Chains A and B, each alone.
Chain A
């Protein structure tokens, strides 16, 4: 039997995004909320991020990952939000009147639960060796940085003694330091791009402070070792990322940690028919985090990969509020989908910008302002302007002293600025200051 209104809101994922969204939805008036978490406890990836540096923006103080998670989990106290841990959502089936979530756990068995609204907060996964096709043997000792982090910080095991890191993403940098602190030797961090993919503070605190060399425009071109990794060859790459002959450096290592990118975990979203953005690998969303499927919202790393959990929390609170408004509107009006037929403007990016979130703005649905997140394609060491144009007309312009692809940027567009847009497109570009 399908009970599509078992819940007003089901939040898939109990990490920082899911927790923030559920708390915000509760605050904005929802009473029947369920959080489904696949791990045995809430908190998501924060639980294994035992380093500090979280919470400076949101809580105004520096916390570790578990502390940050605990702050959110503590807020659940007395909120009458249902939580199912150790539970996997197997399927999300969208419906006209509400959505069905098929979930399963040892404790609860296999169940179909209905909900008026759903928030996708499944986070992301790491790119693997297979995705980037590192040549060589199939030796053990090649880990994604996050998997290694789980073994070290949660399970209490070391994964290697002599380590090389491929990719300068934040988890790789954090793990470089972590491995050194646990007694391993980290010989190098190798990055194929001419610039780092991680936060500047992590380059300084995790590599420079520990004398770990960072090889930019280099990559691993061979892994050797029949059973366990024994040797790794690193080569410089040209502008087209092809290895340059004669630049080989051989490292005697037993471990390779990969920090080569994160991919939003959207298999449920795709299967549910949610429209996706190939640039973010996340859903295309409107100004309030609503996806192309009415009543399904997305926030956090499932939407686009963030650098800072603080911004995940802020974004999730927005999605939680929007989901609450959606449910309450459905309950109080005969027009179930007020915003659905509303015209929207698309954010279009030129070659200087990798992506924006949101991708679409329904101006009529904007209360006061919209925060637009984006990443630049190449680093800028001198000030630049971020310009929004409707055709040739400048709608808004912002100045940034420096920008880098490793650090997500955001700007705020005011409702009155959006009202100026006459066409159905708004173009964002990074320009020189003249």
Chain B
């Protein structure tokens, strides 16, 4: 029996787990994918929003500035890569200049500090690649970019370190209230060891996170998780989870956004801060922003889609994004693209975050759309307060251990590298040459609280394969290290989610031959 079950290990679920891990509570974090931050938390613009955009009466408006400041603080405390770049909203005519005035007022009402509207020439003196047609821009100094999946992961790691149970590969398929607790019916997907995990293993937090072979071949098992409280942080699935225990109150309107990732080494220094166009009813528009890896993100568009998991990219959307981005940065060269991706926003018919106690011992942190990443720590604070009012939070953990430090070879000062590598030889072997990521970093990531189980899991933790060759060189090497350190067969190592196999058999192995269709 758990005290609190959090459904969904996106950035919101991880922030809640981090917050609750500081109390004497039995907490379980349930995730249907094989890692944290596998939905919108992994595929977004990675921006810590300043707080000028949401209307002040909304929860988004109330939580943005608090969330932004807590984000920066948490990034420092948990060693999450981030840059306080500041951001601009640019105006192309006088009507848009008037919009900037409105945004300025809205920002002040939301608690933003240091906002100012500057003329086009001043803007271009600080961002020389911006269009000559820009007449003015709103400067938002308190904002920036971060590594979004590392942010979620860091909070989850601290949570697990302090006793929170992480259950990946576990999809909630039903829930019922039983006098004093919920029975959460879950479908466990994954390898044999995964499916055979019994309740005691689960409660001990010893959960095999491996997944292997084709999904079709995977055993699935229904398991029941019992918990007194349930927190719905299921993102794009949050209406379905809500509807399991409460009357329908909102519908998720899955809204896809597509992106280009441009190579910083080839594209040059396009921008040094986040550039937004003036917002419209469709959202904050196509932005051009730097990433913490030194690359550039261009996007997203906004398209309502039927399939909540459809993160495919389309030719039309990409062409549209490129064209719109060139209005802001005319010399933008999408030929320097190293990757395209898409994320699905949890927009909803409700229009704001849906945060409420919707049923007995059931708290919705639902319909979290942009600026949800920024607001996550503030949303977690609200969840903690609701549980406090319920009398669930008994006492703080006296042995709680916070903080997190990651060794990144690239960040070691030139003068200290030789001594460091002498002491830690694994950091002397570069595995990912584009991003200069060493074997030491990969092995260290596998020894932390939530080890990676896929090539992309290593990528999210260390940055391998993020660069211009997209893992062409390091992929086979990461696979080898992952197999070696985890004790799994190379054939069972996946690219990303369960079933995303890489190798299908050994050479000269009859199993790897196609069965003739004739």
A interface, CB within 8 angstroms of B: 38, 86, 88, 90, 104-111, 125-126, 128-131, 133, 135-141, 144, 146-147, 150-152, 154-162, 182-185, 221-224, 226-228, 243, 254, 267, 270
Contacts and interface: CB of A to CB of B under 8 A. Distances in A.
A227 B472 contact: no
Interface in B487-517: 490-491, 494-510, 512-514
A156 B318 contact: no
Interface string B451-489: 000000000000000001111110110001000000000
Contact of B428 (A109, A222, A226): A109
B338 A140 contact: no
Interface stretch (B49-57, B59-67, B419-427): B419-427
B309 A183 contact: no
Given A151-B476, A227-B497, 17 more contacts: A104-B417, A106-B428, A106-B429, A108-B428, A109-B421, A110-B422, A129-B339, A131-B337, A133-B337, A133-B340, A135-B315, A147-B476, A156-B507, A226-B497, A227-B500, A243-B315, A267-B434
23 contacts: A38-B430, A38-B433, A90-B436, A105-B429, A110-B421, A110-B428, A130-B261, A133-B313, A136-B312, A146-B472, A147-B476, A154-B476, A155-B480, A156-B507, A157-B491, A158-B507, A158-B509, A160-B504, A182-B507, A182-B508, A183-B513, A222-B312, A227-B494
Nearest to A132: B337
Contacts of B337: 130-131, 133
Given A105-B428, A109-B428, A155-B476, A184 B503 contact: no
Residue of B338, B420, B439 contacting most chain A CB atoms (<10 Å)? B338
B185 interface: no
Nearest to A163: B514
A202 to B, nearest CB: 21
Contacts of B311: 137-138
B360 interface: no
A282 to B, nearest CB: 14
Contacts of A105: 428-429
Contacts of B293: none
B341 interface: yes
A137 B258 CA distance: 11
A155 B483 CA distance: 13
Nearest to A130: B339
A109 B422 contact: yes
A138 B496 contact: yes
Given A38-B433, A109-B418, A128 B338 contact: yes
A86 B504 contact: no
Contact of A135 (B261, B312, B439, B469): B312
B265 interface: yes
Contacts of A184: 512-514
A228 B501 contact: yes
Contact of B504 (A130, A135, A144, A254): A254
A125 B418 contact: no
B331 interface: no
B514 to A, nearest CB: 4
B421 A228 contact: no
A35 B496 CA distance: 37
A86 B433 CA distance: 12
A139 B311 CA distance: 10
Contacts of A159: 502-504
B215 interface: yes
Given A135-B314, A183-B513, A228-B214, A88 B505 contact: no
Contacts of B508: 182
Contact of B472 (A90, A144, A161, A228): A144
A158 B498 contact: no
Nearest to A137: B312
A149 to B, nearest CB: 10
Interface in B227-255: none
Contacts of A140: 494-496, 500-502
A136 B313 contact: yes
A218 to B, nearest CB: 15
Contacts of B428: 104-110
Given A109-B428, A140-B495, A158 B318 contact: no
Interface of B: 214-215, 260-261, 265, 309-315, 318, 334-335, 337-341, 417-418, 420-422, 425-426, 428-430, 433-434, 436, 439, 468-473, 475-476, 480, 490-491, 494-510, 512-514
B381 to A, nearest CB: 33
Contact of B500 (A139, A224, A267): A139
A183 B512 CA distance: 7
B74 to A, nearest CB: 28
Contacts of B420: 110
Contacts of B494: 140, 227
Contacts of B495: 140
Contacts of B500: 139-140, 227-228
Nearest to A40: B429
A157 B430 CA distance: 23
Contacts of A106: 425-426, 428-429, 439
B123 to A, nearest CB: 29
A228 B214 CA distance: 8
Contacts of A152: 507
A197 to B, nearest CB: 18
Contacts of A227: 215, 494, 496-501
Contacts of B313: 133, 135-136
Nearest to B312: A137
Contacts of B261: 130
Chain A to chain B: the 5 pairs with minimum beta-carbon distance, closest first: A183-B513, A227-B499, A140-B495, A130-B339, A140-B500
A151 to B, nearest CB: 6
B514 A183 contact: yes
Contacts of B339: 128-130
Contacts of A147: 471-473, 475-476
B476 A126 contact: no
Nearest to A156: B507
A434 to B, nearest CB: 38
Nearest to B214: A228
A289 B134 CA distance: 45
Most buried by A among B433, B471, B480: B433
Contacts of A133: 260, 313, 315, 318, 334, 337, 340
A139 B469 CA distance: 17
A226 B433 contact: no
Contacts of B214: 228
Contacts of B335: 131
A5 B469 CA distance: 34
A128 B472 contact: yes
A187 to B, nearest CB: 11
Contacts of B490: 155, 157
A196 B496 CA distance: 34
A267 B420 CA distance: 25
Contacts of B338: 128, 130-131
Contacts of B439: 106
A90 B470 contact: no
A126 B434 CA distance: 13
Contact of A162 (B312, B314, B509, B514): B514
B347 to A, nearest CB: 21
Contacts of B429: 86, 88, 105-106
A93 B112 CA distance: 44
A158 B503 contact: yes
B419 to A, nearest CB: 9
A223 B342 CA distance: 14
B502 to A, nearest CB: 6
B509 A128 contact: no
A88 B421 contact: no
Contacts of A88: 429-430, 433
A111 B418 CA distance: 7
Contacts of A108: 428
Nearest to B322: A133
A128 B469 contact: yes
